[in-house]
């Protein structure tokens, strides 16, 4: 809530006053400041903008940060180095083991574009520690041959991303790294729903299935296998159809009991929905569906009720998705 964030914001201001006294904090209630709201195009609340070098042009948006500690990291990475420079294996291990998640950039050739992209990504992911190294010894210790970003979870490497010049961009890396705050497949419930929408991946695939069915284990393994391949591009979500609290999602996707197991893709930006053409939830079918969606080849799913028998009996005709086109156009 705004109130809660307001307290976290004030706490960050208190702490940064000692460490970085040149950074000023201000709070504006835009309900009375219409001109400011318009000038800075404030749509949602709370919104945090960071103004640099006394200019009111192009302030930097601070999105999705809710805690004082994360906000402090965000500010520090904007005003100083965004990653810790690692010179020894001990130093690398200390960073890797300090938190649940850590990201290390290993650079065999330190003078190329990928270093800059890595540092920019670190600025946008203040939730986790970032380190970088160009030390031969440290790279050798982790068996790194090329410029590589490694995500560590609970002290173990869980993802290697080779950083080739011009291949990666900041947004793609940010999305990929933030997915590690979730499981490979995230079951939808009250607690996880907030986290799911916090990860900036706009494509979600949802598997609707009862989790206590005989076929569940096999289907779930297939779903997980496909998820590994599309990490950072499509977020894999599991919806338990036996859970009454998930009723609103079934309604939204128009999923009926006879449809399950069902697989849908949702694009959060356009709200477009896509139905997996195949019935069987196999690894092949899932991969084909995801790939055709990413290539822009998947067919839009216009879920519709059946046409009522008496749709044309009255002067005002009853239209549903299935007869809309024929009757209207």
Residue 91 maps to which CATH number?
3.40.30.10
132 belongs to a structural domain: yes
Report pLDDT for 325. Answer: 67
Alpha carbon distances (Å) from 287 to 19, 196, 225, 292:
49, 21, 9, 8
Given 28, 45, 79, the domain boundary residue is: 79
Phi and psi for 161 in degrees, rounded to 5?
Answer: -125, 110
What is the model's pLDDT at position 266?
Answer: 95
Q: Is residue 329 part of a domain?
A: no
Peptide bond connecting 57 to the previous residue in cis, omega within 30 degrees of 0: no
Cα(168)–Cα(258) distance, integer angstroms: 43
Point out the residues of the chain with pLDDT beneath 70: 1, 303-306, 321-322, 324-325, 329
Question: Domain tally for the chain?
Answer: 3
128 and 215 in a single domain? The answer is no
List pLDDT tens digits, range 227-252.
Answer: 999 999 999 999 999 999 998 898 88
Kindly tell me the number of DSSP H helices and DSSP E strands found in the chain: 12, 12
Enclosing domain of residue 147: 84-179
Asked, for residue 322, whether it belongs to a domain, the answer is no
> Which tokens sit at 118?
């890595």
User: pTM for the complete prediction?
Assistant: 0.82
What CA–CA distance (Å, rounded) separates 185 from 117? 28
Please check whether residues 285 and 211 belong to one and the same domain.
yes
Q: Is residue 35 part of a domain?
A: yes
Residues 106 and 135 in one domain: yes
């Amino acid at each position: 809530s705004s109130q809660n964030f307001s307290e976290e914001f004030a706490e960050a201001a208190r702490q940064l006053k000692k460490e970085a006294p040149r950074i000023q904090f201000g709070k504006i209630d835009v309900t009375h400041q219409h001109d400011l709201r318009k000038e800075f195009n404030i749509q949602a609340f709370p919104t945090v903008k960071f103004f640099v070098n006394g200019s009111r042009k192009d302030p930097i948006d601070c999105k999705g940060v809710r805690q004082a500690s994360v906000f402090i990291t965000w500010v520090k990475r904007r005003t100083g180095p965004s990653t810790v420079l690692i010179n020894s294996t001990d130093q690398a291990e200390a960073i890797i083991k300090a938190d649940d998640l850590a990201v290390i950039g290993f650079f065999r050739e330190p003078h190329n574009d990928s270093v800059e992209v890595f540092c920019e990504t670190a600025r946008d992911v203040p939730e986790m520690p970032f380190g970088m190294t160009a030390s031969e010894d440290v790279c050798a210790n982790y068996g790194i041959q090329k410029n590589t970003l490694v995500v560590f979870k609970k002290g173990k490497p869980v993802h290697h991303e080779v950083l080739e010049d011009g291949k990666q961009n900041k947004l793609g890396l940010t999305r990929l790294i933030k997915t590690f705050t979730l499981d490979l497949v995230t079951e939808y419930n009250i607690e996880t729903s907030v986290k799911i929408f916090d990860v900036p991946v706009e494509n979600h695939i949802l598997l609707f299935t009862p989790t206590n069915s005989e076929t569940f284990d096999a289907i779930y393994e297939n779903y997980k296998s496909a998820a590994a391949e599309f990490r950072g591009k499509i977020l894999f979500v599991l919806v338990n159809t036996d859970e009454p609290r998930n009723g609103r999602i079934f309604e939204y996707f128009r999923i009926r009991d006879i449809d399950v197991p069902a697989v849908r893709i949702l694009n959060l930006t356009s709200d477009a929905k896509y139905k997996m053409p195949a019935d069987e939830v196999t690894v092949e079918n899932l991969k084909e569906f995801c790939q055709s969606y990413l290539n822009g080849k998947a067919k839009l799913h216009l879920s519709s009720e059946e046409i009522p028998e008496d749709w044309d009996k009255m002067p005002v005709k009853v239209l549903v998705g299935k007869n809309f086109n024929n009757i209207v156009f």
